[in-house]
Amino acid sequence: MEKERNGVNGKVSAATLLVALGIIYGDIGTSPLYVLKAIVGDRPITQVLVYGGISCVFWTISFLTTFKYIYLTLKADNHGEGGIFSLYALVRRYGKYLVVPTILGATTLLADGIITPPISVASAVEGLTIINGLEKLPTVPIVIVILSLLFFFQRFGTYKVGSTFGPAMLVWFTMLSTLGIIQIAQHPDIIKALNPIYAFRFLTEYPQGFWLLGAVFLATTGAEALYSDLGHCGRKNIRIHGLLLKLV
């Protein structure tokens, strides 16, 4: 228990940073597995689709995940604790009707917790099917087994889970940044996608581009963990990792 309270006390160390990486950013970090696949799909490859899609993803993460959650929302803690019910404890004095959006927020958080893990694990397992000899890999049974093991492992506590998955996520983010740098070096023009004008063109010029925002939003899945797990990891640990990951 003392280890888990370190996050609430605001202690920053290699151990607490590793726990925060495993618990919080593990969910956000798996988004690249399926975001671009959902945006591009079987559609014809065009500059508006690719550049515009990447631009929308970049600015969605910048405004929604980084600015809204990491900078603003983390300030609304209830004695170091986060989450929808902690937020309700802060605002309930302004009106009893606020219990309604609280219930809605709790249900959407639960829904996200049900949807996101299967999508992430299924996307990872489906990636194995491109290997010769694994084309007929039984994806669904494997996903069920992996998720069952993961949910069983959660009973050992947040700190244990974070300590276990932290190193794995460190390797994962290192791989993402390395492969990203290599691809950018080969195709430097992709930097132009950071210009928000491409996001605007994507929404206005590409056929049904506005409806593809649903696929873009997948990039933020797991962002709610930034606030929900505030009590486990602490504001400083979350913000330090947020800054580092934004840079890479």
The pLDDT of 208-218, averaged and rounded, is 84
pLDDT computed for residue 186 by the predictor: 93
pLDDT band for 199, please (50, 70, 90 cuts).
very high
pLDDT digits (tens, 9 = 90+) for 158-176: 677 777 888 888 888 888 8
The whole-number average pLDDT for the span 73-98 is: 79
SS3 94: helix
- Which domain does 69 fall in, by range? 2-247
Domain count, the chain: 1
Phi-psi region of 83 (alpha: psi -120 to 50; beta: other; left: phi over 0): left
Helix-helix angle 158-186:14-23, to 10 degrees: 80
| pLDDT for residue 244 | 59
* Helices 139-153/99-127 angle, 10° precision: 130
Rounded Cα–Cα distance for residues 52 and 65 (Å):
19
Give the pLDDT band of residue 51 (cuts 50, 70, 90).
Answer: very high
Residue 154 has pLDDT above 60, yes or no: yes
Predicted confidence (pLDDT) at residue 29 exceeds the cutoff of 70:
yes
Select from 194, 230, 243, 165 the least CA-distant residue to 10.
Answer: 230
DSSP codes of every residue in 123-179: HHHHHGGGSTT-TT--HHHHHHHHHHHHHHHGGG-HHHHHHHHHHHHHHHHHHHHHH
Listed range (72-86, 188-202, 234-248) with the worst mean pLDDT: 234-248
Confidence of residue 197 (pLDDT cuts 50, 70, 90): very high
Give me the pLDDT at residue 182, please: 93
Tell me the CB-side half-sphere exposure of residue 99, using CA atoms within 13 A.
2
pTM, entire model? 0.72
pLDDT at 1: 42
The three-class DSSP label of residue 81 is strand
Q: Are 21 and 229 in contact (CB under 8 A)?
A: no
With 80 as the cut, is the pLDDT of residue 54 above it? yes
How much is the pLDDT for 10? 56
Confidence of residue 243 (pLDDT cuts 50, 70, 90): low
Phi-psi region of 10 (alpha: psi -120 to 50; beta: other; left: phi over 0): left
**pLDDT 10s digits, 93-136:** 777 788 888 888 888 878 877 777 788 788 888 888 888 888 88
Q: According to the model, what pLDDT value does residue 184 have?
A: 92
- Whether 200 has a pLDDT exceeding 70, the answer reads yes
Sign of the Cα pseudo-torsion (221, 117, 209, 101, in order) = negative
Measure the CA–CA gap between 187 and 177, rounded to whole angstroms.
15
Spatial CB neighbours of 231, under 8 Å, sequence gap ≥ 6: 7, 8, 80, 81, 82, 83, 86
